[in-house]
Amino acid sequence: MTGALMQAEDLHMRFGGVTAVSGVSLTLERGEIRCIIGPNGAGKSTLFNMLAGTQRPISGSIRFEDRDLIGLPLHKFAALGIARKFQVPSLFSTMSVYDNLVVARPAGGGSEDEAIHVGGMLETLGLTGDAGVAAAELPHGQKQWLEIGMALMSRPKLLLLDEPTAGMTSDETHRTVDLIAGLREAMTIVVIEHDMNFVRALACPTTVMHQGRVIASGPFSDIERDHTVRDVYLGRQ
Ligand code: ADP
Ligand code: MG
């Protein structure tokens, strides 16, 4: 297997008269962390929906490890190793933190190393002391980490995170940077983010979307200095 993990070419998506994504191409290398930024309505979540298999693009192609994904059912995307955390948490609120991780295992994954795997995940998430706590009782930031952990339980090759730090305190945001940076090289990660301090701290290659298109892509240090990006987005921060 050679080359990029995922290659999306010329994706288009429309809802009625609204063009949500228009001619977006994106190449993700193995082990890379990519940030996607852009104003509300830029088409970021729609792009994720297409990459994760929840929406089928009107046109364009998505290749993942030399396989064409367009038209495959959602469960195939997951089986191939594409995991996604939604903007809105979807935890099993009355179940314990531990059990939330257990149920997030892929079907048929009940091997004897389960306890080790869950234990390791609790440690990665900084939730070891909260294993028996009901998910609903966790503070907001920890709920988000648990959800990331649930996505990680299937050991994905590609993890898609839509605004993981929304509503977090700055301390929680810093810890989320550490959590995601710690996953570098174990998988490819794409993060949609609004918090520029987060993107700066992660120092990731960054793609900027505006009105359904990619208007800039490159190291965040270059993106921050880009005049067009400043005009359409960063200037408003
Ligand atoms: P972002 O995540 O960058 O804020 P979205 O991808 O959510 O942007 O939305 C892009 C555009 O597509 C917006 O104009 C939004 O209103 C529209 N849109 C997104 N999803 C739908 C949908 N399911 N039905 C109708 N319009 C949608
Ligand atoms: Mg969105």
Ligand nearest to the CA of 212: 1
19, 46, 163, best to mutate for ligand 1 pocket (most atoms within 8 Å of CB): 46
Confidence band for 234, pLDDT divided at 50, 70 and 90: confident
Q: Residue 129 falls within a domain, yes or no?
A: yes
**How far is Cα 138 from Cα 128, in angstroms, rounded to an integer?**
13
Is 204:37 a contact under the CB 8 Å cutoff? no
Q: Which pLDDT score is estimated for 142?
A: 94
Instruction: List Cβ neighbours of 185 (8 Å cut-off, separation of 6 or more).
Output: 31
Both structure tokens of 62: 């998505």
- Tell me, yes or no, whether 102 and 136 share the same domain: yes
Average pLDDT over residues 180-199: 92
Average pLDDT over residues 27-45: 95
What is the DSSP track for 4-67?
Answer: -SEEEEEEEEEETTEEEEEEEEEEE-TT-EEEEE--TTSSHHHHHHHHHTSS--SEEEEEETTE
State which ligand 1 atom lies nearest to the alpha carbon of 209. 3
Ligand nearest to the CA of 209: 1
State which ligand 1 atom lies nearest to the alpha carbon of 46. 6
Calculate how far, in angstroms, residue 58's C-alpha sits from the geometric centre of ligand 2: 19
- Tell me, yes or no, whether 6 and 53 share the same domain: yes
Q: Residue 86 falls within a domain, yes or no?
A: no
11, 13, 18, best to mutate for ligand 1 pocket (most atoms within 8 Å of CB): 18
Protein residues whose CB sits closer than 6 Å to any atom of ligand 1: 15, 18, 20, 38, 40-46
Is 90:147 a contact under the CB 8 Å cutoff? yes
- Tell me, yes or no, whether 12 and 63 share the same domain: yes
Q: Residue 87 falls within a domain, yes or no?
A: no
Around Cβ 99, how many Cβ atoms within 10 Å? Answer: 16
Confidence band for 222, pLDDT divided at 50, 70 and 90: very high
- Tell me, yes or no, whether 76 and 162 share the same domain: yes
Average pLDDT over residues 160-182: 93
Report which protein residue has its CA nearest ligand 1's atom 23.
Answer: 15
Q: Residue 136 falls within a domain, yes or no?
A: yes
CATH code where residue 53 lies = 3.40.50.300
Closest alpha carbon to 13 in 217, 207, 212: 212
Q: Residue 221 falls within a domain, yes or no?
A: yes
Confidence band for 87, pLDDT divided at 50, 70 and 90: low
Q: Over 70: is that where the pLDDT of 198 sits?
A: yes
Average pLDDT over residues 64-93: 88
- Tell me, yes or no, whether 187 and 72 share the same domain: yes
pTM of structure: 0.92
Domain hosting residue 31, numbered range = 1-81+158-237
Nearest-10 crossing angle of helices 170-182, 140-152? 10
- Tell me, yes or no, whether 72 and 167 share the same domain: yes
| Domain's final residue, options 155, 170, 201 | 155
Q: Which pLDDT score is estimated for 90?
A: 78
Average pLDDT over residues 70-99: 89
- Tell me, yes or no, whether 76 and 181 share the same domain: yes
Calculate how far, in angstroms, residue 21's C-alpha sits from the geometric centre of ligand 1: 9
Both structure tokens of 223: 């993106």
Calculate how far, in angstroms, residue 6's C-alpha sits from the geometric centre of ligand 2: 21
Q: Over 70: is that where the pLDDT of 236 sits?
A: no
Average pLDDT over residues 182-187: 90
Note the pLDDT tens digit of each residue in 120-138. 999 999 999 999 999 999 9
- Tell me, yes or no, whether 54 and 16 share the same domain: yes
- Tell me, yes or no, whether 57 and 164 share the same domain: yes
Least trusted range by pLDDT, from 15-24, 104-113, 158-167: 104-113
- Tell me, yes or no, whether 115 and 186 share the same domain: no
Average pLDDT, the chain: 91
Q: How many domains is the chain partitioned into structurally?
A: 2
Average pLDDT over residues 223-236: 82
